Amino acid sequence: MLVAQHTVYFPDVFLTQMREAMPSTLSFDDFLPPVSGPLRRSIRVNTLKISVADFLQLTASYGWTLTPIPWCEEGFWIERDDEDALPLGSTAEHLSGLFYIQEASSMLPVAALFADGNAPQRVMDVAAAPRFQNDTNCCADE
């Protein structure tokens, strides 16, 4: 059994399945550290309320380091020095709906769904928090 920092726990059965499923060209020992550590904090700009360019201009003076997420034009990994002073969820921009705190991997389904110019006629969203992905699904087709 492997127990990592920040209460990440992988049952032995899961570790065995992952070890068996991993291609021989990859190292299981290289796989574990990235998935065992804390996730990088990420946000998605709500382009229904503000453009990405305007959001970046608005937050430029905050000292936030925003790194674009390759598969989501509105997504950014965020690093902040003042996290203890003002939690990200308490910022005026978050409270006014200009951005969502959303894990980067949650931005993948919409990117995959609309990749290569695909425009599905219907999308059934069964996410645990459908609002965040749903507004992206609705707008992605426009």
Domain extent listing, the chain: 2-36, 42-140
Both tokens of residue 30? 């290289």
Confidence of residue 129 (pLDDT cuts 50, 70, 90): low
Residues linked to residue 10 through DSSP beta bridges, in sequence order? 2
CATH entry 3.40.50.720 includes domain 42-140: no
Over range 3-15, report the average pLDDT: 71
The reported pTM is 0.68
* Amino acid symbol at 52: V
Q: Are the C-beta atoms of residues 108 and 120 closer than 8 Å to each other?
A: no
Nearest to 53 by CA among 41, 42, 63, 66: 66
- The upper half-sphere exposure of residue 118, i.e. CA atoms within 13 Å in the direction of its Cβ, equals 12
Give pLDDT tens digits for 51-68: 999 999 999 998 899 999
Residues linked to residue 66 through DSSP beta bridges, in sequence order? 78
